[in-house]
Structure 1
Amino acid sequence: MTSVCARTRDAAPRNAQLLQTLDETNHAPSALESNQSYVARLRLQIHQKKQELEQASKIVESELADYEQYEHSQIRRLAYKVDQKEQIFDEKTEKEKREWEEALKYHDEIKYNLGKMLDTLDNAVKLNLTFKQEAAANAVAKKDLDELYKSIFSGQTPELPGEDKKEQLVTEAETSFNAVQSRMSTENEALKALKDAERFLALALNNLSSAKHPVVSDFWNYGSFADMSKDSKLGNARRNISEVKNLIAMAQEIQPFIRSIEQLDAPELRFMGELVFSHSENGDALKLLKQATEILEIELDGENSRVKAIEKELSRAKKILQERRKELQDFRQKTFEKFTRVHELG
């Protein structure tokens, strides 16, 4: 008994240090697992988006080649003129130009969304490094604590009835805590995606609200459709709406209860940036975006409620884990005190 008492007394400071480390890093293993799944999904989506961009680039090249066959072909123009079909030639030229411009606009949207996804991946990877460091510290602390307790309480200890049972309760509490923490991390990812979607939707609303003139005026101001698509308020609105749709899709992959927003697929929004986009259509698009904002707010409220519910569950699980650890620690501390008194009396 004196040997157990001495080992317990000597290990007390180290035991307290390890328990504190565990309390500070218990979230890390499950958070790391969830983050790694998130990063894997992002990388897959980025790979697919890069393939889309590559295909879109080929389409742009093809459409540009078709357009230039008309735009820069004096012989072809002359042939149509001889046949008194110059108007048909101009119509075909304009058609090829529109198809090239639309392909370019689609290409730019994919490129923009890809950039946003790469930024998100960069942030997720940085967070992954933090979780890895914390998870490593957690694993080391657990290992050291196990070895410490093994050095003190290993072997037959009939004088310590109940110690093994309390240790089992700690293990069960850890398992429960990790399961809830994993769900918490997942729901937080969905919530973040919805909050980002809300931010981009607000930007789109602002873009559209401030676009007081039809796109035709932007076209003449910028001098080319490519410039207009990149810089005009309507072009920005369209890109922001596309990002909203991507973020909602990402949130739905994480949490299937999140609904789609059908208004974002309406023709009034898909065709923003066309030369024929009028004041009336601008108003229709604004109305749709406001409806989409209301629906997104409902989905945000729902996800916030889910997160809060899991926060409460996580708080309970953490409290139980802390209580179980304290019970085990108190038991071992009382064992130490008991052996100390025996040693002093002896």
Structure 2
Amino acid sequence: MPGYSFSSFAQIDPSSTTSFISAKNPIPATATATATRTSMATQRILAAAEHNNHLLDVLSRTDYAAPELSQTIEYASGLRAILAKEEQKLQRLVAATVKEHHEHESYRDSTVRRLAYKLSGQKGKFNEKAEKEEREWLEAIQDELQAKRAVEHLKANLVDAEATASRLKLVVDEHQAAQSELDALYNSIFSGPSPEFPNEDFKEGTVKAAQATFEEVQQRLSMEAQVREVLGDAELFMGRCIRNIEDALHASTMDAWGIGGSFADMNERSALAQSQSHASQVEMLVSQARRMQPIIQALGPMNIAQGNLMSDIIFDNVFSDMAFHDKIKDSKAQVLGAAARLRNEVQKSDERLGSLKAEVKEKKLALEEKRRELQDERRSVFERISNDLPSYSADITNNDSVWPPRLSAQHDVHSALYGEDLQQTSTQPGGYNTEAYPPTYDSYSSSSTSPAVFVIVVRQERSGEEYIGSPEEKKQADLGQYLAADY
């Protein structure tokens, strides 16, 4: 009988097309698992690419919202504090108006006082006192109305700020949702530091730095825009203050020349009261702007001339009228000086706004560029991983020397052992009839739950070629000795 040696055997899982190991061309056992893991990574990378682009677009569109929302919330908080003070002031003025009205009606309707002045021959004094009480009441009403307008203005600004904050909150929510989704996507691929991708880590750091710089400049821009809005409101009240003081100056001129009498005097006091109220609004708004932007300079004093009882009634003559007229002129000079300084601050704020808008645009472009670089780097990593994938399945399928398997040797061994024909149920790898392979060598099987097939390749020692002998000769071979000798 020719001499034979046991060359090799392998366990074959008939249900897998990639687990068949050729005795002549063995494939590493980890090849299939590696190929499978790599294939899954490729699919994840390819599937994530389009979604990644979408998320980056959302972030770029909503970058401005977070710093602007922070500044708007701070602005609204400041408005609430000012509004609370103005409402308290309004309550005091309402109480003062009620008091003045009560005193006016009490004096006007007092028959006893009227009769007393009449009997003493001072009926004119009574009328002057009654007019004075009426003026004080009317001035209290004007102060109350001015305070109400200021409160309404603050409430309107607060409503606008809250509406802006609500709108920005939606944008911030969208931004945060996209950022969270993008972080989850990248963490699933680049979880933690990636020493194998140092360039990707470096570019990710540059993106974070550019993002922080952009947010800082965007916040300064939002703050400056609100400062400019407050200064614009101050300009509006400053204009009203100047008009009121000019009206008071005109009424004072008429009173000094003896034209208009008590009516001119009443108009003068009313105009001065309104001018004082508007000057107070200007000072409040400028103070608010300075809290947000400390480089804004103070406007200086705006002392509005005010009359008194002695000059109005007892010493009311042409000289006192001219002296008071000069005081009104001094007040107008102070107001005009403050208005000039306010215009200068408004101009500087406009310049800062223009500079910050240009800087924000520059930083936004830089941030987008860094994000594109990071995206390109990650895309490059994706492509590099995809290009490095080994094609084990394709190699096995296209290798004619391996597929189809060597059926002649298998057929001979099987026939020698069992006297049956090997039945091939499929021309594809792994498509063999498992019923033709009884589990004879269970002790060598790595799995006790699935059928195992051992392919025995018998080679002729003399020529190195496969020997195809008769079934009777192969049955005479001591298979146990070969297995024991090789294992």
Q: TM-score range by the shorter chain?
A: 0.7 to 0.9
Please give the residue correspondences for 1:105-144 in structure 2 after superposition, counting only pairs within 5 Å: 105-144=142-181
Evaluate the alpha carbon distance shift between residue 155 and residue 91 of structure 1 in structure 2; reply closer, same or farther with a 3 A threshold. Answer: closer
Contact 2:143 2:273 survives alignment (8 Å): no
The letter for the 1-side match of 2:129 is K
Q: Which of 297, 306, 313 lines up with 1:259 in the alignment?
A: 297
Do structure 1's residue 53 and structure 2's residue 90 form an aligned pair?
A: yes
Shift of 1:290: 3.8
Closer, same or farther: CA 54–345 of 1 in aligned 2, 3 Å = same
Which one has a bigger Cα radius of gyration?
2
Give RMSD over aligned pairs. 3.5
Report deviation, 1:332: 0.3
Partner residue of 1:147?
184
Tell me: CA distance 1:63–1:345, structure 2 relative to 1, closer, same or farther (3 Å).
same
CA contact (8 A) 1:30 1:181 kept: yes
2:198 partner SS: coil
What residue in structure 2 maps to residue 166 of structure 1? 203
Equivalent in the alignment of 1:179: 216
Deviations 1:204-223 (A, max 9, x none): 556666899528869969xx
Q: Distance in 2 between matches of 1:284 and 1:48?
A: 30
Tell me the distance in 2 between the aligned counterparts of 1:267 and 1:155.
67
CA separation of 1:218 and 1:194: change in aligned 2, threshold 3 A: farther
Q: 1:47 to 1:326 in 2, by over 3 A?
A: same
CA contact (8 A) 1:109 1:242 kept: no
What is the aligned partner in structure 2 of residue 291 from structure 1? 337
1:4 counterpart = 2:50 = no
Inter-partner Cα distance in structure 2 for 1:312 and 1:4: 43
For 1:137, what is the secondary structure of its paired residue?
Answer: helix
* 1:61-76 matches, cutoff 5 A: 61-76=98-113
TM-score calculated relative to the size of structure 2: 0.60
1:202/1:58 CA distance change after superposition, 3 Å: closer
Amino acid at match of 2:354: K
Residues 244 and 275 of structure 2 are in contact (CA less than 8 Å); yes or no, is this contact kept in structure 1? yes
The residue number in structure 2 matching 1:198 is 235
Counterpart in the other structure of 2:379: 333
Matches within 5 A, 1:206-245: 214=251, 240-245=278-283
Instruction: Establish whether residue 104 from structure 1 lines up as the match of residue 141 from structure 2.
Output: yes
Inter-partner Cα distance in structure 1 for 2:103 and 2:387: 95
Aligned match of 1:305 in 345, 351, 354?
351
Q: Which residue among 34, 37, 48 is the counterpart of 2:71? A: 34
Distance 1:210 1:61 in 2: 27
Q: How far, CA to CA, are the matches of 2:131 and 2:338 in structure 1?
A: 35
Aligned equivalents of 1:49 and 1:262: distance in 2?
A: 22
Q: Indicate the larger mover: 26-35 or 281-290.
A: 281-290
Answer yes or no: is the 8 Å Cα contact 1:113–1:242 preserved in 2. Answer: no
Paired with 2:192 and 2:96, the residues of 1 have a C-alpha distance of 73
Corresponding residue pairs, total: 336
Distance 1:155 1:218, change over 3 A: farther
- In the superposition, relative to structure 1, how do residues 24 and 323 fare at CA in structure 2: closer, same or farther (>3 Å)? same
Change (3 A) 1:79 1:199: closer
The 1-side partners of 2:296 and 2:104 are apart by: 43
| Structure 2, gaps ≥5 residues long | 1-37, 313-320, 393-487
Task: Output the CA distance in 1 between the equivalents of 2:98 and 2:65.
Answer: 48
TM-score by length of 1: 0.82
Q: C-alpha distance in 2, partners of 1:63/1:6?
A: 84
Shift of 1:86: 3.6
Write the distance in 1 (CA, Å) between the matches of 2:135 and 2:51.
73
Aligned-partner Cα distance in 2 for 1:327–1:36: 34
Q: Deviations over 1:131-171 (max 9, x none)?
A: 11111111011001001112222378554233233323322
What percentage of residue pairs aligned between the two structures are identical?
30
Q: Shift of residue 72 of structure 1?
A: 0.8
Asked if the contact 2:104/2:134 (under 8 Å) is kept, the reply is yes
Aligned-pair CA distance for 1:244: 3.1
1:268-326 per-position Cα deviation (integer Å, ceiling 9, x unaligned): 5x67xxx9799877766655544333211211122223333433443443233223322
Which residue identity lines up with residue 338 of structure 2 in the other structure? Answer: A
Deviation of the 1:60 alpha carbon: 0.9
The answer as to whether partners of 2:143 and 2:277 remain within 8 angstroms in 1 is no
Q: Hey, what's the Cα distance between the residues in 2 that align with 1:109 and 1:181?
A: 36
